[in-house]
Structure 1
Amino acid sequence: MTTFIFDVLNDLKKKNYNFSELTFILPSKRAGLFLKHQIAKVSNKTLFAPEILSIEEFVEELSQLKSVTNTDLLFEFYSTYQKLTETAKQDTFESFSKWGQILLQDFNEIDRYLIPQHQIFNYLSAIQEINHWSSESNQTEFIKNYLSFWNKLTAYYEDFTTSLINKNIGYQGLIYREAVENIEAYIQNTASKKFVFLGFNALNTAEETIIQELLQNDLAKIYWDIDAVFIENPKHDAGLFTRQHKARWTYFKNHSFNWITQNYSKEKNISVLGIPKNVGQAKYIGELLEHLKLENNNLQHTAVVLGDENLLVPVLNALPSSIEALNITMGFPLKSIPLASLFENLFRIHKTASNSYYYKDVITILSHQFVRPLFFEEHTDTSNKLIEHINSNNLTYIKPEQLKKIAPKHTAVIDLLFTNWSTSIKDTLSNCLALIFTIKSYLDEDKSSNRLSLEYLYRFNVLFNEVIRLNSKYNHIKDIASLHSVYKELLSSETLDFQGEPLQGLQIMGMLESRVLDFETVIISSVNEGILPAGKSNNSFIPFDVKLENSLPTYKEKDAVYTYHFYRLLQRAKNVFILYNTEADVLTGGEKSRFITQLELEGIHNIKHHIIAPKVPVIEHSLNAVRKTDTLLQDIFNLAKAGFSPSSLTNYMRNPIDFYYQKILKIREYEDVEETVAANTLGTVVHNTLEDFYEPLINTVLTVDAINNLKPKINDRVTFHFKNEYKEGDISKGKNLIVFEIAKRYVLNFLNAEIEAIKAGNEIKILQVEAHNEVEVTISGLDFPIKITGKVDRVDAYNGITRIIDYKTGSVEQNQVEVVDWADITTDYKKYSKSFQVLTYVYMMYKANNINLPVEAGIISFKNLNSGFLKFAKKESSRGKKNTLITEATIAAFETELKALISEICNPDIDFLEKEV
């Protein structure tokens, strides 16, 4: 294929220009590399390479000013702001940086377009005065300060630009303005040079002035890359700027306009592909490249252009392994590197001065891939030990001293992470560098495996050294929040550059990197509204109408820039794949781009439109089944000999697979910090408190006085058991304080219910509290006795009738302790598990000869205390008569079901089958 650069060089060759004597000016540095490569193809003799400059480099040469970073400019501008603003009215550097960046962008635009500064600043000031009725005598202090700021814009600008020029530095706009002022002198001193401008489209006023001056003095040639379809259609935004230049520049009244081409109308294969989500686009790009590689054997003239540069990492992960030659023109954002998340977490926890830190933040830092190795000690992961201590002791907030006690050998690392940050900015930055070098010393032990991680560290070392340089030079950073702001600003602009062969294989680039370059096959991603084009974003203090009045670019012009880049990619391409996200999202782009709609409405090309659905494998949900091998059976028998508890048997009823995991494999849930007291902790506290109260009253008849004497002890005993169960968790505030008060209220309400029962003439005698029971059961088919074990919360005699009582802090209703059909008691967990549990307690006590039948058994629900003692009942039918007394017949019927359940657990022919929950 023929490229624009190749055509330009051919034209120059035909006109007998000596390439070595030319200076080529291009929109970007990257295009210069391709230009140099093409010269070798056009020229048939050995020659010295010509000077090739980007427009920014050329303008810097003209202005004699050096461009500096945005962060440097922000620090310089803050110095000006401090000098011209009363100390009492000054913003902090952090607050200043938020609006200072916007004002710098406006300064840049004003200068690039050569707008008279005083004119526009006075205009802006006048607008604000009108908006706030400046003639009114009763202005607030806030409005006075606000108007004062606008009135000082000219002073800020003049002092700031003068300071920069004196230091021979500048922002882009100032450099352009100075270049325009120097252009006449430059022309006089450079009469022998010949400049070639190529591939330009949107030019600011300064660029237009410079290029026209060189053209008028016959020192330059300019080549435009525009197609007839775009320039001849007065409404087509791709030709907006070129049409303006062609019509307005006096040079073109007497000289030809090079060039208007006819490439866009040539036959092309254009496919528009709607794909859900960004990751879907990345995956499809991988599939597309694999297909293209099979067809063409190489991807030498193929480019992947990312409309959304955040897609870089997913696309790199989706690339097929068959691609060998690859060049990535975009750097890998430093903010996406794992080390960035570590420093982000550290800055976040240290922004507010504190001597203790939230446990999740501490665990996140201790678990970080760059921190964890620092705690290795003789093949032991001490960071894991610290995390386990935090979880097991319910530490919601942790002090560094607590960590040092557990890991005394790692106090230096703990200090770097959690202390010495709030003393001074200098110490904080020293801490960051020391942490980097500590990590480096560990990675140096195996350099070959850690080369990428060491590169990360190096780049962050450079970044923090830059912050140190800026702070030592300007001394504007006064607190951690300001430091974090500067760090983020530097981080957002830094990239980790990829190494590759820039002229070979597949090219992956952003939209701006594609300027002047041509490819046979182009894949463009994220062609959605809000991304391509970016839409109506206005990050400026200058109102829209003021921009129009002063010929400053608005969102319309910015959209036209991207329209040109988009269509220019299509001009010479033969195969075009345009991808867009079908899932509209206001944050990351909306519906498909207007560019796609315009392509379809033009009717020049036959557009193939497809909606690509991701390949989603059909995953048939199958319930787990575990066969009972000889080894597993032996484990089950061992468990049966040790003892089944009522809760373990109901666990089997609920889901046999859970029983297998918890009781056979001994897999327990991960112990996490209980930020809010869990339900089981609340239950344990209430149970233990009542055990303390009633244990001294065993074998005594309860009296009102005895119960009243327990009330003053409630706070003390509940507090004691909370500390015992909740460890070092805080119950002094928030939800935990509410749960603590609920526990006390549960106990108090229970005691009041006992008093009411006694006052009503009932006699209550405490027989046992937390009674441990253990019985052996012989089951047909098993040659060993089965043990059943468990604790009964309370056994009492109520008006002479023995009651077996189970406490529940949750809500229980009467119908949950009633049985109609005995066969259901071991099969329907939700309905009968409570009945099963209380009957198991009765069964154990009866078999152990601890009670005489008949008895009553049931539940006291603290959430349903008004219902009193919820008695187990056997019903003849769903609406039949209830029998609440448990007799030998009841126990015999229950024993049959209990033995059948245990037989099933121990049966080698019945697998552990998962139930659908």
Structure 2
Amino acid sequence: MTTFIEEVIANLQEKGLDLSELKFILPSKRAGTFLKHQLSRTTKQNMFAPEILSIEDFVENISGLKTVSNTELLFQFYNTYITLNTDGSPDSFEVFSKWAQILLQDFNEIDRYLIPQQKIFEYLAAIQETNHWSVAEDKTEFIIKYLAFWNKLHVYYTHFTKTLLANNLGYQGLVYRQAHTKVGEYTQQNKIQHVFLGFNALNTAEESIIQHILEHTDALIYWDIDKTFYENPVHDAGFFTRQHAKKWKYFNTHPFNWISDNYKNEKSIQVIGVPKNIGQSKYIGNILKELGKTKNTLEHTAIVLGNEDLLLPVLNSIPSEVKALNVTMGFPLKSIPLASLFESLFKLHKNNPKSFYYKDVISIVSHQFVRPLFIQDKEDFATALIETIQTNNIVFLTCQHLVELCEPFKDVLELLFKAWDNNATKALSQSKSLIFALKEYLNISKDENILSLEYTYRFYELFNELERLNTTYNFFQNISALHQVYQELLSSETLDFQGEPLQGLQIMGMLESRVLDFETVIISSVNEGILPAGKSNNSFIPLDVKLENNLPTFKEKDAVYTYHFYRLLQRAKNVYIIYNTEADVLKGGEKSRFITQLELEKIHEPKHIMATPTVHLVENKLKTVPKSALVMERLKQIGKNGFSPSSLTNYMRNPMDFYLQKVLKIQEYDEVEETVAANTLGTVVHNTLEDFYEPLIGEQLTEAHIKEMRAKISATVLHHFEDTYKKGDIKTGKNLISFEIAKRYVSNFIDLELKEIKAGRIIKIIAIEADFERIEINIPELDFPVTIGGKVDRVDEYDGVTRIIDYKTGKVSQSQVEIINWEDLTTDYDKYSKPFQILCYAFMMLSDGTLKFPLEAGIISFKNLNGGFLKFTKKDKSGNGATKITAINEETIQLFEEQIKVLILDIFNPELNFEEKEVSH
């Protein structure tokens, strides 16, 4: 394959020109690098490199102006805006920047296309006047301000451009307009021969400058257009070139170089539909893997990203077969981890809060760049701080509070959490100090942290620029305005990749491919809305005004991308066109019209492939864990220490949970309770009743006791909330409701007790929170001891009948404490877990000798107090009726003991694995 650059150099040599005496002008700096490389390969003798410039640098040289960054322009323009709005109340910088960006783009277009400024601005104002605004007899203040804005556009433009020119500064359009006025002076002073190559779409200023140099000097221009597109009057790839050839006077007397005929050469074109952006990236990796087997260097291969957001996933998909690659785009600074840290800090401080939400604090403290700052003597204080927040249920924290929790790291905490006070200067100062703190840590192991040090340096530069803008202009009235400019600077900054720009695989954006040719081209994201971009009108200038003034519209922008797309295919031999098949609200889902056009042209026969990821169907098997010798030893230890009723019901519910929690000792992650959890509420109610009833053990309950309890409800519940919920806030929101619910539960319960006493019932307290440990269960089949233990909420005598009571803050009905068949007791958790638990308590107390037969056991449900004491009941169905037995006697305990032995033998059966059950949560 002979590239366009090679053809141009060969032609210049045929003309006998001294290449070192020429000045080459190209569309981009990237193309200049390839040109210089090709010159070194083509020439057979030593020579000085010629001057090679991009069109932007060339025009800037002619104009004598220095191009200013977009951010700097915004500040300069705001200076103009507030200078010319002394009478009214000008917008804040934050509001101004949202519409000024669009206006600056319009200024740029007007100047690049050499439109008479006053004419178009007056035209725009007149359009607004003729709209319905002017028909109103009494214009509102809003309408008056609106029309005044349009009438001032020319005044804004004039003041703004004069200020810039006075300082030899300019934006791209102003630089082009100035160069247009000075090109005659330039040609008189510069006699060096110019060579323009690889251009396509030119703005009016560029056309005027190039034509003037061509007509007044011996300059040369080389176009790169294929006959197929040039001779087709409706093909957009040749749209601009046909216009130049037809309208430029220069071509009346000079040949039009060149119209090549490469596109019709044989090509392998594959059109591949792949779902999602990640899918495209992975498919590109597969293509490279196959190419790497035959083309070891991949030197003539390029990946052209239609959507440049694919850079990171593509880089992560590069196979090991690719030994060298060059990325021309730069790594977006917004994608590096440090960007997420500062974004979190802006989010935290933006609204100047009095305290910080714990999740935001944890996010910052646990950030990969911040966490190392909390390490001292190899101890991780960040983890300790996070655990303290979680354990104490602290939902909102202040900087002072954080310092109290982690005093040794006061300096770091103040850098992160000390209030910015909605002051940009303070925010910038603290951010830079944080960068220095990060640098100091990273310098300790410099060789290991080279990349991270580079990150911190680039952010130091970014915040330095923000500080300079703030000092120079003082327009940051709040953190929100600072954040807006920070985001704009961040989005435009990149971290350049280091490497040899001419070796190996090339990865680039569509515009960077100008003038360059490759044998193998992989183009991604060839979807409507991306290639081409489609209709978008980010401008104050209406479409009809653009058409009248020959300003570019979406039609011209589509033609630009059509040319770039087809130019990539022009000399290529192998082409892979990849598009996203996944429907998306904003981008993707519909393949580009370029693909349809390729099919309709019938010049090449694209091979269509629908690529889908290989999905291995994984059978969702329930987990199984065998009982190894080590597991059996652990189970014996648990049995010796004592099973609790809840651990046994846990085994009934799901043996795998029992294995994780009891055998492996893996507990659920303890997160901050933002709102009081059900178990916390239950603990508070239980502890409150324990405080009330424990002093009454051995006594008969009286009305005086109840009256005394009632006076203490609020204080006791509050005490236990503070003890259980730690530093969680119970004064507002849902937590306040939970606090009131706890008080209501306790109040309703003692009201129920009072009602019973008034009805003449004799209630005597026997035990409160009775703790039983290691009650042995006689199991002859096992040659080691097995015990059971637990805590019984309350035991009392009710009219002479002993009752074992278990409190439940949830709702329980009578049917949930009844059984029919004893065999079902240990097999159905949902139905029989509650009777199993209360029978466990009865078994323990009877085995210990604390209680004697007969007795009753049951539940008091705080959500079903009207149900009273819900007794364990054995239903014996026979015939047409049903007998209910509530008294627990020797036979009941004997039958229960048989079932608990069955359950424990299952647990200790080495042949019976721990098997996961499908549990609905």
TM-score between both structures, scaled by the size of structure 2: 0.96
Aligned to 1:586: 585
Aligned to 1:898: 900
Amino acid at match of 1:911: N
Amino acid at match of 1:891: I
1:326 equivalent in alignment to 2:328: no
CA displacement at 1:136 relative to structure 2: 2.9
Q: Tell me the SS of whatever aligns to 2:52.
A: strand
Aligned to 2:916: 914
CA displacement at 1:439 relative to structure 2: 1.2
Amino acid at match of 2:231: E
Amino acid at match of 1:486: V
Aligned to 1:100: 100
Aligned to 1:515: 514
Amino acid at match of 1:545: D
Q: Tell me the SS of whatever aligns to 1:876.
A: strand
Deviation string 1:413-467 (CA, Å, 9 cap, x unpaired) is: 1111111532843333222222111111111111111111111111111111111
Aligned to 2:890: 888
CA displacement at 1:517 relative to structure 2: 0.5
CA displacement at 1:764 relative to structure 2: 4.0
Amino acid at match of 1:105: Q
- The within-5 A match list for 1:484-499 is 484-499=483-498
CA displacement at 1:135 relative to structure 2: 4.9
Tell whether the 8 Å contact from 2:422 to 2:479 is kept in structure 1 after alignment.
no
Tell whether the 8 Å contact from 2:269 to 2:576 is kept in structure 1 after alignment.
yes
1:855 equivalent in alignment to 2:855: yes
CA displacement at 1:702 relative to structure 2: 4.3
Aligned to 1:26: 26
Answer with 6-15 or 621-630: which moved more: 621-630
CA displacement at 1:844 relative to structure 2: 1.3
Change in CA separation of 1:88 and 1:846 when aligned onto 2, cut-off 3 Å: farther
Change in CA separation of 1:669 and 1:211 when aligned onto 2, cut-off 3 Å: same
Distance 2:303 2:659 in 1: 52
Q: Tell me the SS of whatever aligns to 2:111.
A: helix
- The within-5 A match list for 1:258-407 is 258-407=257-406
Distance 1:438 1:376 in 2: 13
Change in CA separation of 1:761 and 1:493 when aligned onto 2, cut-off 3 Å: same
Q: Tell me the SS of whatever aligns to 1:710.
A: helix
Amino acid at match of 2:110: I
Change in CA separation of 1:777 and 1:511 when aligned onto 2, cut-off 3 Å: same
Amino acid at match of 1:649: L
- The within-5 A match list for 1:830-841 is 830-841=830-841
1:643 equivalent in alignment to 2:645: no
- The within-5 A match list for 1:419-434 is 419=418, 421-422=420-421, 424-434=423-433
CA displacement at 1:692 relative to structure 2: 2.4
1:780 equivalent in alignment to 2:797: no
Tell whether the 8 Å contact from 1:714 to 1:747 is kept in structure 2 after alignment.
yes
CA displacement at 1:757 relative to structure 2: 4.7
1:463 equivalent in alignment to 2:459: no
Aligned to 1:823: 823
Q: Tell me the SS of whatever aligns to 1:323.
A: coil
Aligned to 2:533: 534
Deviation string 1:712-749 (CA, Å, 9 cap, x unpaired) is: 43322222111111111111222222222222233333
Distance 1:706 1:547 in 2: 90
Answer with 210-219 or 356-365: which moved more: 210-219
Deviation string 1:821-855 (CA, Å, 9 cap, x unpaired) is: 22221122222212211111121122223333333
Tell whether the 8 Å contact from 1:132 to 1:143 is kept in structure 2 after alignment.
no
Distance 1:749 1:202 in 2: 83
CA displacement at 1:709 relative to structure 2: 4.7
Amino acid at match of 2:710: K
Aligned to 1:449: 448
Tell whether the 8 Å contact from 2:656 to 2:916 is kept in structure 1 after alignment.
yes
Distance 1:737 1:103 in 2: 52
- The within-5 A match list for 1:628-639 is 628-639=627-638
Change in CA separation of 1:866 and 1:12 when aligned onto 2, cut-off 3 Å: farther
Aligned to 1:567: 566
CA displacement at 1:700 relative to structure 2: 4.4
Deviation string 1:733-774 (CA, Å, 9 cap, x unpaired) is: 222222222222333333344445555665544433222233
Amino acid at match of 1:904: D
Distance 1:471 1:245 in 2: 46
Amino acid at match of 1:897: Q
Change in CA separation of 1:246 and 1:854 when aligned onto 2, cut-off 3 Å: farther
CA displacement at 1:81 relative to structure 2: 1.0
1:114 equivalent in alignment to 2:114: yes
CA displacement at 1:910 relative to structure 2: 2.8
Deviation string 1:766-817 (CA, Å, 9 cap, x unpaired) is: 4332222332222112234322111122223344433322222223333322
Deviation string 1:333-387 (CA, Å, 9 cap, x unpaired) is: 0111111111111111111223421111111111111111111111111111111
CA displacement at 1:501 relative to structure 2: 0.9
Change in CA separation of 1:228 and 1:871 when aligned onto 2, cut-off 3 Å: farther
Divergent runs of 4+, >6 A: none
Amino acid at match of 2:551: L
Change in CA separation of 1:853 and 1:535 when aligned onto 2, cut-off 3 Å: farther
Deviation string 1:100-159 (CA, Å, 9 cap, x unpaired) is: 211111111111111121122222222333445235343332332222222211111111
CA displacement at 1:648 relative to structure 2: 0.7
Q: Tell me the SS of whatever aligns to 1:650.
A: helix
Change in CA separation of 1:116 and 1:836 when aligned onto 2, cut-off 3 Å: same
Distance 1:905 1:849 in 2: 27
CA displacement at 1:87 relative to structure 2: 7.0
Amino acid at match of 1:817: V
Change in CA separation of 1:554 and 1:745 when aligned onto 2, cut-off 3 Å: farther
Deviation string 1:54-84 (CA, Å, 9 cap, x unpaired) is: 0101110111111111111111111111111
Amino acid at match of 2:364: I
- The within-5 A match list for 1:685-724 is 685-703=684-702, 706-724=705-723
Aligned to 1:601: 600
Tell whether the 8 Å contact from 2:581 to 2:588 is kept in structure 1 after alignment.
no
Tell whether the 8 Å contact from 2:270 to 2:577 is kept in structure 1 after alignment.
yes
Change in CA separation of 1:545 and 1:865 when aligned onto 2, cut-off 3 Å: farther
CA displacement at 1:511 relative to structure 2: 0.8
Amino acid at match of 1:117: Q
Change in CA separation of 1:865 and 1:568 when aligned onto 2, cut-off 3 Å: farther
Change in CA separation of 1:90 and 1:110 when aligned onto 2, cut-off 3 Å: same
- The within-5 A match list for 1:170-209 is 170-190=170-190, 192-209=191-208
Amino acid at match of 2:70: N
Change in CA separation of 1:771 and 1:315 when aligned onto 2, cut-off 3 Å: same
Aligned to 1:794: 794
Q: Tell me the SS of whatever aligns to 2:326.
A: strand
Amino acid at match of 1:511: M
Amino acid at match of 1:473: T
Answer with 141-150 or 699-708: which moved more: 699-708
Tell whether the 8 Å contact from 2:820 to 2:875 is kept in structure 1 after alignment.
yes
Aligned to 2:16: 16
Change in CA separation of 1:42 and 1:842 when aligned onto 2, cut-off 3 Å: same
Aligned to 1:663: 662
Tell whether the 8 Å contact from 2:349 to 2:419 is kept in structure 1 after alignment.
no
Answer with 668-677 or 10-19: which moved more: 10-19
Aligned to 2:165: 165
CA displacement at 1:24 relative to structure 2: 1.2
Amino acid at match of 1:883: I
Tell whether the 8 Å contact from 1:420 to 1:431 is kept in structure 2 after alignment.
no
Q: Tell me the SS of whatever aligns to 2:447.
A: coil
Distance 2:853 2:419 in 1: 71
What percent of counterpart residues are identical?
62
CA displacement at 1:6 relative to structure 2: 1.2
Deviation string 1:546-584 (CA, Å, 9 cap, x unpaired) is: 222222222222222112111111111110111112211
Tell whether the 8 Å contact from 1:535 to 1:555 is kept in structure 2 after alignment.
yes
- The within-5 A match list for 1:42-53 is 42-53=42-53
Aligned alpha-carbon RMSD (Å): 2.1
Deviation string 1:231-269 (CA, Å, 9 cap, x unpaired) is: 233332222222222232233333322222221122111
Distance 2:408 2:287 in 1: 54
Change in CA separation of 1:654 and 1:509 when aligned onto 2, cut-off 3 Å: same
